[in-house]
Structures are given as C-alpha cells and as structure tokens.
Structure 1
Amino acid sequence: MSTKKKRSPHVDNSSWVVIAADDATKTTTGDPTFVKLKNPATGVSSLYLFSSGDSAVFEVKAFTEDYRSWFIGQTVQRDGRLLYITPMEPLYLLLPYLQKAGAEGKFQPVDQVVMDEEFPACTRLLSCTRSLASLRHVADEKEVGSLKFHRYSQEKTLDWLKKKVERTVAALRKSSVCVGGGVKSSTFIRVKQEEQASDEDYLRYAHGLVSEYVSEDLSKDLLKHLQLPELSSPKQEPPAKKRKLSDNPVDAKDDYTKFNSSDFTRKPPKKLTAAQKSLAKVDKTGMKSMASFFSPKVKQEKN
C-alpha cells in the first residue's frame, strides 16, 4: 500500500519582502543595489539602497514582530520582516564627513572629504543628483577655475536643519497629526481630544523627527537654534524621540537577518474575528464568568 507524501514548503533564507517606490527599483543604467553606509545619527552600519545609476539613495527600515514568517508560493520565507524603502536626503549621510573635515578649518575638494575605508560605498553619494547641489546648504564654497572646494559651516547647517523642522511642522499641521503632551508615545493617539497642541509641541515633535538623521550633538545644537529649552526629565521626552515599532534602521549584516527587537516591548492588539465581535455585543449582565465554575467554593461559616 503506497502512501502519498505531503509536500513540505521549501524554506528560503535568501530573499525578503520589500515595499519600495517605483523610482527605487527602476533600472536604467544598472540595477539598484543594497549597500552598507554609516548611519548619520548613530555612526554604526545600516542598510541603504542606491537606485539605478546612483541617482538617488533610499533608507531601508523594517516592520517586524516576533514569530512571523512569509508564505510565498511553495516557499517559506523565515525572515518575517517587512522591509520598506523610502527616499533619503543624501546630505544627511554626507554631514558626518563634512563635519570631520571641517575641524581642519580649510577648503577641500569634496571627493577627498567623503572617503571611508570601513564604508567605501560612501563615495557613491557624490553621484546622487541632489548631493553636490545641496552642499551649499551646509558648507561654504570656493571656486578656483573649474574646481570647487568646500568647508563645513555650522551656521549654514543649523539654518538648513531649522528649515527642515519648519517644513515638517507645516506637514504635521496639514495632516492633523497629534503631537501634544496628551499623546501616547507608542501609538500617538491623543488621550484628551480637547487638548490643543502648542507651537512648541509641534517644534519639539518635528525636531525629534529630524534628529533621527543627525548626531546627538548636532541635535542639541539644533534645539538651541530653535530656541527651545532642553528637557531635563525623561518623562518629558517628546513622542517623536521615542522609538515606534517600524522606526529602526536595518542592521547591515551580510545576511540582513540580525535585527534588534529589544525596543519592541509593546505588542499590537490582535484583530477580533467576526464571531468575537458578535459575542462582544451580547449583554452579559448577570452572567457568570467561565472561571467561576472551576474556582473552589467558599465555605460559609456557621453562626
């Protein structure tokens, strides 16, 4: 008697599920490539994507939950993360190199400034369409013949970042995002709907978002430039500075599988099924709980 063997799905560890804009995956003068670059906020290795021809750079972040996989056709993708790729301002990635060279106080060719043995792909940032044109926002420029030389300017950088914050505030107001003190940090849902966010609330929130792309020292300098007092109590920390589930950059290991989930202590609520929703509407007045039938009976004392 022959028995029919069940087909078990093939486990695939060499692919990922990615959401990306069309301009990130479009091929013209070459394929898009994942590279390791220095994270401008933390200084550690993170994963980024260069579009075809290095015309633009994108940051790679991940939405992840414990014990999750993807079933794709007849394969099982063990890495259950959902990677999503969004446009990145290349100037943020260039800032650490410009700041380091700026300590010397002299004008230098940018191709001699943006060099890194640990992250050799950083030179590809200079091919991005917006990179060289944007240098004037954060550096003084001197032109000698056909050559251009640059020197980092803290004043220009803070003015540029301030404009970034102001544009972010405008976008937050337009989208009616809740940013006040009554916002829960993990979900950004307002506790008291009648409480109106102040201008300072919006500035702090936007400052927190921009600070995700700059060093801690530069973030503090920007806070002063915005004329906002530094918060001394951790409880007063603005919501934008508290990590959300999908805000961690992807750790750039060769297999892209290592992911620090230590920040994810709060689990999202599970969706109710149709049956559970119907049961929730039932009037339970006078009903006993299931546990009451299995709990020991309390003996009544005799008078």
Structure 2
Amino acid sequence: MSRKAKKEDIGTKKNSSSTLPKRRVVIVKDALLESDSDQNPTFVQLRHPSSGKAAMFLFNGDNSKVNEVMQFSDPKRSYFIDQTVCSDGDMYFCTPIDPLFLVLPYLMKAERCSPLDQTLLDDELPEVARLSQCPMDVNLIADRRGLETLNAFVYNEDKTLLWLQTKLERLIPVLRQKTINTSKNVAVSANFVKIGEEEDSNVNYLRYAYGLLCDYIPESLAAKFADFIKLPPELERVSKRKEIVSPTKPDGKKVKLDDDDEAYEAKTPVSKIEKKAPSAKEQALAKAAIGSKSISSFFKKK
C-alpha cells in the first residue's frame, strides 16, 4: 500500500470515528422497555407542568408510558463504555410520571370544551400529542361532554383539588415508610428519622408532601390547593440577633446585639466615687512605710 493510500485510510477512520453518536448513561426500569410495539423508546421535549418550560421526557415504544428524565451533572466524571471512553459524565434517571400532570396545564388554559387530541396542541412542542395515547382517567380532573367516543373534556377545578388530595394522602404514608426527614431546621441526611412530637411530625409530613406535588402543578393551582387542604403556615424562624430598646435613648430606637455580646447601655450614668480623707491609722501605716522597698524589687536582676 502506498504512502498516499495509507493517509487516505487513516483519514477515513478519523471521519468514521467522529460521526459516532454521542453516548450517555441512562438508568431506566425494564418495564419501560416492554411494549407491544416494535418501536424503541423515544426522548421528547414537553412542557413541564410547573414551570411551563421545555423539559425532557421518555416515552416507551407504543406511547403508553411516560417518564420524566432527571439529569445529574458531574464535570469531573467519565465512563468506560465497551472499548470507548464517554467524556460526558452526566447521568440520567427516568422516573414514571402520571400523564395527568402533563395534561392538566392544557386543560386549564382551554377556553372551551374540545376533544383531548385538539386540546393537546402545541406549536413549539408538537410531541405533546403523544399524551393522548397514554392510558389515563381524564374524568379525575375534567368533565366529559357529549358522546364518549368524542372524548371531549372541560376542566373542573373541584375534581382536580380532590384528585390532588388523594395523591397527597397516598404520598404521606410512603414518606413515613421511607423514613424521610421532613424537618428544615436540622442539617442531617434525608433518610434520618426526626424525633419529635407526633403533631409536629404530621404537619411536617403534610407540608413536605405538599411541596412535592407543587413541583408538578401550576403555581396558581398550588395556592388554591394549600387553602383546600388547610395547610398550616410555616412558623417564622427566630433570629439569632436580639433586639433591645436602649433605655438611655429618648427616641426608643432598637439596638441589635449578638447573643455573645452582653454589653449594654446602663439606665443611669455611674456616679463618681468621692475620695474620703485617710484615717489616723492609715496615716501611721503610710508614715512607717517610708523608705521601705516594694516586694517586686527582690525579683529584679542585680
């Protein structure tokens, strides 16, 4: 083989290696890969139900299951895959999500009753149409209108709040079973069991579960849901700095002092101690001490 032919062969190898698809590490359950369709699972972008921004989701082959894709980045990590090195150290976790959460924002924005496939229309993210193929009970968050074959729905807020309450009631026992720490006042591991009063624990679990659900619903609905379940407000944390009123200032302005600082202004100025005349005994002792050395003089270098 000539030198020129060798150069062309090497160039061909370089071009073929550069066209290899970028590999990523994805963790997903085997059940998601099982479907009646011959199609492979597909990554698509849909609107996140809370923020409304584009996010990555994974559908199985027949679009009957949808998973949220969570990305965990680590710039200093890489993987060995087969005989190659993957420099992308990101890891992707696929977790199941109820498709009703993804359908809910579209139903809330719909101005009139319409078939579900017409409600799930998005010019920027057209893959949302896949949701209409997912098995789900839309009657939990909307009212059906017309014939059942028409599959037309209109949003129902009362039904949605009851549906979220059911989700909440099912979530709290799972959090207890997993011994998830729900306290915000201690910096401990998430799987540490907080020891405290039972009433406080119940409120913490309720508030924690509410926060998890709020990550998947619009903000306007989250506020209504808090009122619906009568969520107790969070107690304000006590500041570490104390506020005291200076008694010497007539305007009564507050002065902030640290916990370790015990200095404060006195209520009245300290009166000067008046000097008293020495007694006869003190005068005699002072006269006898004239000419004597102090005790410190014995310790000086000679």
TM-score class, shorter: 0.5 to 0.7
Bigger Rg, structure 1 or 2: 2
1:36 aligns with 2:42: no
SS of match in other structure, 1:121: helix
Mapped partners of 1:38, 1:147: distance in 2: 25
Instruction: Please report how far the alpha carbon of residue 157 of structure 1 lies from its aligned counterpart in structure 2 after TM superposition.
Output: 0.7
SS in 1 for 2:114: coil
Q: Following the alignment from structure 2 to structure 1, what is the Cα–Cα distance between the partners of residues 203 and 84?
A: 50
Partner deviation per Cα, 1:126-151 (whole Å, 9 max, x = no partner)? 10122xxx110100112337423211
Q: Quick check: 2:46–2:127 contact (8 Å CA) kept in 1?
A: yes
Aligned pairs, number: 220
Q: Which of 134, 151, 156 is equivalent to 1:153? A: 156
| Separation (CA, whole Å) in 2 of partners of 1:191 and 1:166 | 20
Structure 2 CA distance for partners of 1:230 and 1:28, relative to 1, 3 Å: same
Inter-partner Cα distance in structure 2 for 1:220 and 1:78:
43
Q: Does residue 19 of structure 1 match 2:27? A: yes
Q: Which moved more, 1:151-160 or 1:216-225?
A: 216-225
Question: Does the C-alpha gap of structure 1 residues 65 and 221 become closer, same or farther in structure 2, counting only changes over 3 Å?
Answer: same
Query: Per-residue CA shift, 1:27-80, capped at 9, x if unaligned?
Result: 531111000100111111110001111011111112333411112233121211
Aligned match of 2:100 = 91
Match of 1:144 in 2: 147
What is the aligned partner in structure 1 of residue 190 from structure 2? Answer: 188
Instruction: Quote the residue 1:119 is aligned against.
Output: 125
Work out which of the residue numbers 49, 53, 56 in structure 1 matches 2:62.
53
CA contact (8 A) 1:143 1:149 kept: yes
Seq. identity, %: 36
- Whole-angstrom CA distance in 1 between matches of 2:194 and 2:167: 29
Task: Check conservation: 1:141, 1:151, Cα contact below 8 A.
Answer: yes
Report 1:1-303 matches (<5 A): 14-29=22-37, 30-101=39-110, 104=111, 106-130=112-136, 134-144=137-147, 146-184=149-187, 187-188=189-190, 190=192, 193-194=195-196, 196=198, 197-231=200-234
SS in 1 for 2:215: helix
Go from structure 1 to structure 2 and tell me whether the alpha carbon gap of 1:28 and 1:147 turns closer, same or farther (over 3 Å shift): closer
Q: Cα RMSD (Å) of the superposition?
A: 2.6
Shift, 1:178, TM fit: 2.1
User: Whole-Å Cα distance in 1 between the matches of residues 176 and 27 of structure 2?
Assistant: 27
TM-score normalized by structure 1?
0.66
Give the letter aligned to residue 231 of structure 2.
L
Q: 1:191 to 1:24 in 2, by over 3 A?
A: closer
CA distance, structure 2, for counterparts of residue 214 and residue 160 of structure 1? 12
Counterpart of 1:49, as a letter, is L
Q: Is the CA contact (8 Å cut-off) linking 1:183 and 1:189 kept in structure 2?
A: no
2:285 counterpart residue number: none
Secondary structure of the structure 2 residue equivalent to 1:198? helix
Instruction: Summarize the Cα distance change of 1:145–1:179 in structure 2 as closer, same or farther, 3 Å threshold.
Output: closer
